[in-house]
């Protein structure tokens, strides 16, 4: 009987905290909505809650966008790259040489990050010349998750899915001199930049380098997701 009572108590506490969280979020949103109406000389008391909510939603989106654009550390809608190297592997008498690949990463002004990975031997790239590789044809860089940034500290959240489960990998880092240094990560909550209570923090050590000679064009796909088309050239590290 004691075990059953403990379960009931734990369930009740869980529901209480969830409801409190939802209530606080809703309350904050209502306050922000009321301030928005007042800024337009509209009396919040005299309107239906949903009369101007579409306008308010677009207003918040634009506010977020401008905050990201004005961030002095992150190059929004521009290309960062990082390199990775696979090790040479031996299978009996067969040897598979390691390959070097490059990942294009773009942080959009909508708070989404897009990425695509290519082997350096890809048909998209020219042969290196004086440490520079040119894109023979445009490459597509696609939506893979979201990010938040405060001053020079960035948090990213990447959605991962298999036929059996879905999870979000969070990797955080800091920005200095046009380079993003990622140092820590964990399994996080959906659409939130918070660590799950059971997740163990892991250390990371990789960087993304801004490439000013790669140019971008932003598009939406048929599902409304952001992607970029990239052209230009980049430096081989």
- Residue 11 belongs to a domain: yes
Indicate if 17 and 133 belong to the same structural domain. no
Which string of b and e fits 4-29 if b means at least 16 CB within 10 Å?
eeeeeeeeeeeeeeeeeeeeeeeeee
Indicate if 102 and 66 belong to the same structural domain. no
Indicate if 54 and 106 belong to the same structural domain. no
Indicate if 44 and 145 belong to the same structural domain. no
* Number of domains observed in the structure of the chain: 2
Q: How far apart are CA 168 and CA 191, in angstroms?
A: 8
Interval 134-176: pLDDT, tens? 999 999 999 999 999 999 999 999 888 787 878 889 999 999 9
pLDDT at 109: 95
Interval 176-229: pLDDT, tens? 999 999 999 998 877 677 888 878 889 999 999 999 999 999 999 888 889 999
Interval 86-118: pLDDT, tens? 654 454 555 545 578 999 999 999 999 999 999
Indicate if 140 and 47 belong to the same structural domain. no
Which domain, by its residues, includes 35? Answer: 2-70
- Residue 92 belongs to a domain: no
Indicate if 55 and 115 belong to the same structural domain. no
Structure token pair of residue 232: 């230009």
- Residue 111 belongs to a domain: yes
What is the pTM for the complete model shown?
0.77
Indicate if 137 and 29 belong to the same structural domain. no
Strand, coil or helix: 1: coil
């Amino acid at each position: 009987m004691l075990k059953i009572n403990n379960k009931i108590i734990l369930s009740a506490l869980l529901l209480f905290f969830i409801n409190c969280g939802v209530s606080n979020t809703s309350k904050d949103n209502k306050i922000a909505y009321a301030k928005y109406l007042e800024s337009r000389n509209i009396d919040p008391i005299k309107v239906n809650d949903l009369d101007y909510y579409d306008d308010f939603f677009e207003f918040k989106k634009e506010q977020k966008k401008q905050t990201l654009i004005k961030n002095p550390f992150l190059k929004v809608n521009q290309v960062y790259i990082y390199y990775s190297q696979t090790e040479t592997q031996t299978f009996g008498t067969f040897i598979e040489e390691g390959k070097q690949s490059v990942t294009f990463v773009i942080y959009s002004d909508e708070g989404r990050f897009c990425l695509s990975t290519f082997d350096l031997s890809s048909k998209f790239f020219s042969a290196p010349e004086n440490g520079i590789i040119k894109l023979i044809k445009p490459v597509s860089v696609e939506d893979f998750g979201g990010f938040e940034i405060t001053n020079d500290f960035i948090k990213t959240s990447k959605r991962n899915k298999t036929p059996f489960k879905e999870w979000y990998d969070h990797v955080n880092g800091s920005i200095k001199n046009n380079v993003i240094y990622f140092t820590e990560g964990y399994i996080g909550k959906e659409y939130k930049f918070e660590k799950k209570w059971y997740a163990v923090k892991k250390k990371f050590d990789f960087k993304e380098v801004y490439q000013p000679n790669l140019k971008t064009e932003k598009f939406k796909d048929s599902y409304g997701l952001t992607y970029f088309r990239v052209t230009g050239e980049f430096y081989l590290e």
